[in-house]
Amino acid sequence: MADQQPRLAEMTRAESLRLLGAAPFGRIVYTVRALPAIVPVRHLVENGMVVVRSHVSGDCAGSVVAFQADGTVPEHLLGWSVTVTGVARRIVDADEIQHYESVLTPLVEMGNVEVIRIFPEIVTGYRLVSDG
């Protein structure tokens, strides 16, 4: 019997954000001089919003960005992918910054690390599943 091809199954917003929150890192997509830039970052999901500490956060603040993470089971060619699109806002409250500094380590330690919160307008999530 031939292996069946996997198919895409759309996930709910809640399931997508839950999986996104469990991913060890993701990628933030933003623009630099009208060109796309993608940087891997650590993140967390709190109250339905994505929070990132990174050296690129200042470049993203006030802009529409995308954030994407995925998880795979390579031996079975299965997994999931979630993309969040929304406006990134710099966190300026000192207590919030201190909180995120204690719970969210940047993927790469560099100068000018800032904290941004992405307000998800669009959340898309898909699982690659097998019926077999």
Count of structural domains within the chain: 1
Q: Given this model, what pLDDT does residue 76 score?
A: 66
Its domain, for residue 93, covers 7-129
The pTM (predicted TM-score) of the whole model is: 0.89
Pick from 130, 131, 118: nearest CA to 20? 118
| SS3 category, 18 | helix
Query: Would you say residue 28 lies in a domain?
Result: yes
Query: Would you say residue 1 lies in a domain?
Result: no
Query: Would you say residue 65 lies in a domain?
Result: yes
Which tokens go with 13?
Answer: 């917003």
From residue 66, how far is each of 96, 119, 131 by CA, in Å? Answer: 22, 10, 31
pLDDT tens for the chain, residues 1 to 132? 456 777 899 999 999 999 999 999 999 999 998 899 999 999 999 999 999 998 887 888 899 999 999 998 776 678 999 999 999 999 999 999 999 999 998 887 777 889 999 999 999 999 988 876
Query: Would you say residue 71 lies in a domain?
Result: yes
**Dihedral sign computed on CA atoms, order 35, 21, 24, 97:** positive
Looking up residue 67, the CATH number of its domain turns out to be 2.30.110.10
- CB neighbours of residue 45 within 10 Å: 23
Query: Would you say residue 117 lies in a domain?
Result: yes
Which tokens go with 35?
Answer: 């060109």
